[in-house]
Amino acid sequence: MSEEMNYSKAIERLEEIVQALERGGIPLDETLKLYDEGAKLLDFCQQELASAEGKLNEMRLSDIEMKLSE
């Protein structure tokens, strides 16, 4: 998977893959390749969803400036 992959690109590519598989008429090895790519993209999306979670930091401007200057 390329480095610049992001969530919206992944969703876009997933749509393409699923549509290709739904159209059918693909050789077996291509089917497997597409399936594999699709499964990887789904994993990527799941990771993206999970990685947006984190804690809430609430700081006054001066605190954050102090932290950044450390």
Partner 1 sequence: MSRGSELTTGPIPVGQFVNLVRNTLRNDKIFQNQVITGEITQWKQYPNGHTYFTLRDSDGQISAVIWKGRCHIDPIIEEGSVVVVIANLDLYAKAGKIQLVVNKIEPVNKLGLLEEQKKLLIEALRNEGLLDRPRMTLPMIPKHIAIITGTGSAALADMNRLIENRWPGLRRTIIGVTVQGENAPNEIVRAILAAGKLSNPTIAMKLDLPPVDLIIVGRGGGAPEDLWAFNLEPVVRAIIASNIPVVSAVGHESDLLVSDLVADIRASTPSNAIERCVPEYDYQQQLSIHFSERLDEATNRLFLDWRNRIQLIQSRLLNAPLKGVYNANQHISNLSSRLSNAVIGKFSNARKKLQFLCNTMQLSMQKSLANETTKLAVIESSLNSAHPRNVLERGYSMITDGTGELVSKTKDLAKGQQVILALSDGSAKATIDEIKKIGENNE
State which residue, 2 or 56, has the beta carbon closest to partner 1.
56
Give, in order, the Cα–Cα distances in Å from 16 to each of 28, 31, 32, 67.
Answer: 18, 13, 15, 45
Closest CA to 20 of 10, 11, 30: 30
Q: Binding pattern to partner 1, positions 4-43, x when CB under 8 A?
A: --xxx--x--xx-xx--xx-x-x-xx-xx-xxx-xx--x-
The minimum distance between CB 2 and partner 1, in angstroms, equals 17
Under rule CB under 8 A, residue 56 binds partner 1: yes
Is residue 30 a contact partner of residue 2, using CB atoms and an 8 Å limit?
no
Does 3 contact partner 1 by CB under 8 A? no
Residue 64 as a binder of partner 1 (CB under 8 A): the answer is yes
